[in-house]
Amino acid sequence: MARQEVVAARRIVVKVGSSSLTTAGGGLDADRVDALVDALAKSLGSSGGNGGPEKEIVLVSSGAIAAGLAPLGLDRRPRDLARQQAAASVGQGLLVARYTASFARYGRRVGQVLLTTDDTSRRAHYRNARRTLDQLLAMGAVPVVNENDTVATDEIRFGDNDRLAALVAHLVRADLLVLLSDVDGLYDGDPSTPGTSRIAEVSGPADLEGVSIGSAGKAGVGTGGMVTKVEAARIAAAAGIPVVLTSASQAADALRGRATGTYFHPTGRRSADRLLWLAHASTPRGALTLDEGAVRAVIEGTGSLLPAGIAAVEGEFSAGDPVELRDPAGRAVARGLVTYDAGEVPQLLGRSTRDLARELGPGYEREVVHRDDLVVLHR
C-alpha cells in the first residue's frame, strides 16, 4: 500500500550523502550521480496522480570535500580545517558541474545554494535564503544546497548535512523529507548481525526505545551516520514534516510512496520559521543567567528579556549573535539573539530600561533579547 503523504507531497527535500555519490578513491562516480538524477527527474515530472501541479525538489547534497580529494592528490579526508576547505573549494565546482550535466539530460536547470548557520539564524539572511530558494523553484530550477565548507568554521557549521536538510525542509515549507545514504533504513541493531530487522515506521520516540541508534547502520565516507539521520528525522517530524529514510538505490521507490526504508510520521506542527534554526543550527557565543522571574517570563512566553531580569553574563559576543539563556542553576532554558555586545551587558544587569535610558540615553531603552528572536529549549 502506498504511503499517501508521500504520494501527495508536492515540495520535497532530498538529501544524499557522500558515500552514495563517490568512489572508494574519493572522486565523483558519474554513474551514481546519473542514477540519482534519473530518479529525481522522473519524480519532478509527476503531479502525484492528483492532477495538481508538478512536484518540486530541493536537493541537499554532500560530496564536495570527497570530490575534491583526488584532484588535490589527497588519498583520504584531511583532518585539518584548512585542507578540508581547500578540498571543498575544488570539489564543490565538480559536484555542481556533474549535477548540471546530468539534469540537462532532462532539460532541467540547476542552481547552487551554499549556506552557513550564520546565513540562516539572522533574520535578514534567513529571508534572503528562503526568497532565493522559492525563486529557483518558481523558475523550474533544481536548487542544490550544501553547507559552505569553503568558509565555514567550527563556530558556524551545521556539522552534518542531515540536520541541514531537516532545516531546509522547514525553510522551504516542504511536504516531505527524504534522507538517502548507503543504508536501506533504520534497523533495530547492527544490520550485519543476523536477527536484526528494519524498522518500517516510527510514530514517535516510544518506537525507538531499546534501539541502539549508534549501531543501527552507518553511512560510509561522510561525516554523518545513522545518529545524525535519526536526529534530522526527529527535527523534521517535530516540525510537521514526514520523513523517509532509505538508500540512494531505492530513491525512485521512496519518491513513489512505496513501503521502502523507514517512514517517520509527523509528531508536531510547524513552528515559527527562524526559531527552528535558532534551536537546532546556532552555536551560542555566550550565556546570560536569569533570575527566577525572568525565567518564568521566558518559558511562559509573556515577553522579551529585559536587563532587569539578568543576573550574570559570560562569553564574547556581538549584537545579533545567539546566546544561551540559563536559569539560576545554570541550566539552558532558551536561546536567543542578543541586541547588545558582551562588553555592554555588565552595566545593564538588574536595571530597568527606564533608568538606563535616563542615564545612558534613549538607545538603551530596549530589550536584551526580543521575544521574536527567542526560542524555549526546555520547559
Q: List the chain domain ranges.
A: 4-277, 284-376
Cell triple for 337: 539573539
Q: Compute CA 185 distance to the chain's CA centroid, rounded to the nearest angstrom.
A: 20
pLDDT digits (tens, 9 = 90+) for 196-207: 889 999 998 888
- Under 8 Å between Cβ of 139 and 123: no
Cell numbers for 169, please give them: 525542509
Going by their DSSP bridges, the two strands 286-290 and 322-326 should be labelled as parallel
Return the pLDDT at 220.
40
CA distance 292 to 298: 10
* Below-70 pLDDT ranges, the chain: 1, 24-26, 46-53, 117-123, 149-159, 210, 212-224, 271-274, 281, 379
Same fold flag, 4-277 and 284-376: no
Architecture of the structural domain at 284-376: Roll (2.30)
Instruction: Note the CATH number of domain 4-277.
Output: 3.40.1160.10
285 to 72, 118, 197, 302: CA distances (angstroms): 34, 12, 42, 25
Contact indicator for 375, 336 with CB cutoff of 8 Å: yes
Looking at residue 183, its pLDDT comes to: 87
pLDDT in tens, 66-107: 888 888 988 888 888 889 889 889 999 999 999 999 999 999
pLDDT at 219: 43
d(CA 172, CA 241): 11
Residue 210 burial (10 A CB sphere; 0-12, 13-18, 19+): exposed
Residue 274: DSSP 8-state: H
